[in-house]
């Protein structure tokens, strides 16, 4: 185990005179109540109490159990951060960006053909149909893909190119923003990057993803056999390197996404495990989607004409889920064996939260002191908080709110008489508490 684990006491050995169990440690290594009394945040510790307890779980245990514990921590993190819901959100915005993006690309190709006198758009149309035949049967291509492509090509207009790109860039960057924000929260570093910088980062990563996707997605869809029929001169050199290059591009992009999404810098290689796991999950999902497409899109489907958009949305959702699971694994690894930068950043976040909590407590004490000096009854000032803590009926809650609004001057005495035995509690501390029964 790395040396950083030595910062936390082992589980239940007999502590020395200068050593305490983890249960006795303050949440962030501070002095505890003494620091709160002075109105200052507790002492700076590089490891929070929760992180320390988590690391203590991984010490002095068989290495065979480490993988199981990491899987449990990853699953817990996915559940706490609503990974499935966030994956659906990202898939929705990605799907929303595809039509305007395709329209913009088609409009661009149409403009180039008009200027250069070429027929690039028709060539792209034929290549898309050929690639679709690898995933779908001839019936699926003729009934589903060809009508969509023909409608898209026939509607190519240069004037819609700019609008399509603007909508696509906004929606696509919004999808990537889900990844960036979720990864930041998983690492416990929310608040370390301002929203404008987060959105700019998401926009940049979306543009990079378009470039990488333009290479990887066709390569995954058509495979090396069809690729080398177009460029046979590259086959002797590129065939052995085809799949390694595709996998390296995918892993490199995912690792870079995980790396830059964290507000503080850590070694790039430490994000490789999550990228490899995400790629493995994505490959399994891609195989399942191929089976789904052949059985649902080509046959009888309850979705009817919506079968293709639903299939695309499902594939995008599974891809986003794989990316977020990989991020959760990286975050779990960083909590157990943290980098110096992320540990220091989490400690700073903990200190900021403690300072905010102390500020709230100080404001409450000042408010109570000011209320005492102004002669406001303490029972009335605290009654609403006590009502929220107790499970009162709606009618009783409304009656108490009316009494508080009246200032406790007896104007709601008719309601107090209707309350019966609750009257003594509500009039406690008031000047007219003994007259309500008359």
The residue ranges of every structural domain in the chain are: 1-61+338-376, 80-336, 380-435
Contact in structure between 180 and 202 (CB atoms under 8 Å) = yes
Cβ-based neighbours of 322, under 8 Å, separated by 6 or more: 278, 279, 281, 282, 285
Q: What is the phi/psi pair of residue 67, to 5°?
A: -60, -40
State residue 26's pLDDT score: 38
Contact in structure between 250 and 216 (CB atoms under 8 Å) = yes
Place of tokens 């110096």: 340
Contact in structure between 343 and 265 (CB atoms under 8 Å) = no
Alpha carbon of 39 to those of 30, 31, 229, 357: distances in Å?
13, 12, 74, 10
**Dist CA 190 CA 321 (whole Å):** 21
State residue 383's pLDDT score: 56
State residue 255's pLDDT score: 93
Containing 318, the helix (H) or strand (E) segment is helix 307-336
Q: What is the phi/psi pair of residue 427, to 5°?
A: -95, 10
Alpha carbon of 133 to those of 99, 212, 363: distances in Å?
21, 23, 68
Contact in structure between 342 and 264 (CB atoms under 8 Å) = yes
Contact in structure between 12 and 52 (CB atoms under 8 Å) = no
Tally Cβ neighbours within 10 Å of residue 211: 10
Tens digits of pLDDT across the chain (438 residues): 333 333 333 344 444 434 334 433 334 434 333 333 344 444 334 444 555 555 545 555 666 677 888 888 888 888 888 899 999 999 999 888 887 777 777 777 777 766 766 677 777 777 777 766 665 667 767 777 777 777 766 655 655 666 777 888 888 888 899 999 899 888 888 878 888 888 999 999 999 988 888 888 777 777 777 777 777 777 777 778 888 888 999 999 999 999 999 888 888 888 899 999 999 998 888 787 777 766 665 556 666 666 777 778 888 899 999 999 999 999 888 888 877 888 888 888 778 878 888 888 888 888 777 766 766 555 555 655 554 555 455 666 666 666 666 654 444 444 444 444 444 444 444 444 444 443
What DSSP string describes 170-186? HHHHHHHHHHHHHHHHH
Place of tokens 């200068």: 18
**Dist CA 154 CA 157 (whole Å):** 9
CA 111 to chain centre: 39
CA 203 to chain centre: 16
Alpha carbon of 401 to those of 381, 394, 419, 432: distances in Å?
12, 10, 14, 18
CA-nearest of 8, 55, 93, 39 to 358 is 39
DSSP state of 45: -
Reading the block at residue 374, the tokens are 């102004």
Please work out, in degrees rounded to the nearest 5, the angle formed at the alpha carbon of residue 205 by the alpha carbons of 204 and 209: 120
**Dist CA 34 CA 20 (whole Å):** 18
Place of tokens 């390569």: 219
**Buried-exposed string 71-80: b where 16+ CB fall within 10 A, e elsewhere:** eebbeebbee
Give the chain's radius of gyration (CA, Å): 31
Cβ-based neighbours of 90, under 8 Å, separated by 6 or more: 175, 176, 178, 179, 316, 317, 320
Tell me the angle at which helices 161-186 and 242-261 cross, rounded to the nearest 10 degrees. 70
**Buried-exposed string 263-289: b where 16+ CB fall within 10 A, e elsewhere:** bbebeeebbbbbbbbbbebbeebeeeb
Contact in structure between 428 and 379 (CB atoms under 8 Å) = yes
pTM reported for the whole predicted model: 0.63
State residue 272's pLDDT score: 92
Question: Reduced to 3 states, what is the DSSP secondary structure of residue 267?
Answer: coil
Cβ-based neighbours of 401, under 8 Å, separated by 6 or more: 384
Tally Cβ neighbours within 10 Å of residue 338: 23
């Amino acid at each position: 185990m790395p040396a950083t684990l030595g910062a936390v006491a082992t589980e239940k050995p007999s502590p020395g005179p200068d050593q305490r169990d983890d249960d006795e440690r303050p949440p962030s290594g501070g002095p505890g109540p003494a620091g709160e009394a002075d109105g200052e945040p507790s002492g700076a510790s590089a490891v929070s109490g929760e992180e320390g307890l988590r690391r203590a779980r991984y010490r002095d245990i068989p290495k065979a159990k480490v993988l199981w514990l990491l899987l449990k921590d990853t699953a817990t993190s996915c559940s706490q951060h609503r990974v499935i819901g966030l994956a659906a959100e990202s898939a929705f915005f990605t799907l929303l960006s595809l039509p305007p993006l395709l329209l913009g690309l088609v409009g661009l190709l149409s403009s180039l053909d008009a200027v250069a006198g070429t027929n690039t758009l028709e060539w792209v149309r034929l290549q898309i149909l050929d690639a679709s035949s690898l995933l779908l049967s001839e019936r699926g291509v003729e009934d589903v893909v060809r009508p969509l492509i023909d409608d898209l090509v026939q509607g190519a207009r240069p004037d819609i190119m700019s609008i399509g790109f603007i909508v696509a860039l906004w929606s696509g960057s919004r999808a990537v923003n889900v990844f960036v924000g979720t990864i930041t929260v998983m690492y416990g570093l929310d608040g370390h990057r301002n929203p404008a910088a987060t959105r700019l980062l998401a926009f940049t990563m979306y543009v990079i993803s378009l470039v990488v996707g333009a290479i990887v997605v066709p390569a995954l869809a058509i495979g090396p056999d069809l690729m080398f029929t177009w460029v046979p001169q590259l086959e002797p050199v590129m065939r052995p390197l085809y799949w390694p290059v595709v996998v390296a591009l995918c892993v490199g992009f995912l690792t870079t996404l995980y790396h830059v999404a964290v507000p503080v810098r850590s070694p790039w290689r430490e994000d490789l495990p999550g990228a490899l796991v995400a790629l493995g999950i994505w490959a399994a999902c891609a195989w399942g989607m191929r089976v789904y497409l052949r059985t649902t899109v080509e046959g009888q489907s309850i979705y009817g004409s919506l079968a293709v958009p639903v299939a695309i949305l499902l594939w995008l959702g599974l891809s986003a889920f794989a990316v977020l699971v990989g991020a959760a694994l990286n975050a779990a690894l960083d909590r157990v064996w943290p980098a110096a930068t992320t540990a220091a950043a989490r400690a700073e976040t903990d200190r900021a939260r403690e300072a905010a909590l102390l500020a709230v407590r100080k404001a409450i004490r000042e408010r109570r002191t000011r209320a005492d000096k102004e002669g406001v009854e303490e029972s009335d000032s605290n009654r609403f908080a006590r009502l929220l803590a107790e499970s009162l009926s709606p009618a009783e809650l409304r009656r108490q709110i009316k009494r508080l609004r009246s200032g406790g001057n007896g104007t709601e005495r008719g309601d107090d008489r209707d309350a019966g035995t609750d009257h003594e509690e509500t009039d406690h501390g008031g000047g007219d508490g003994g007259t309500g029964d008359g």
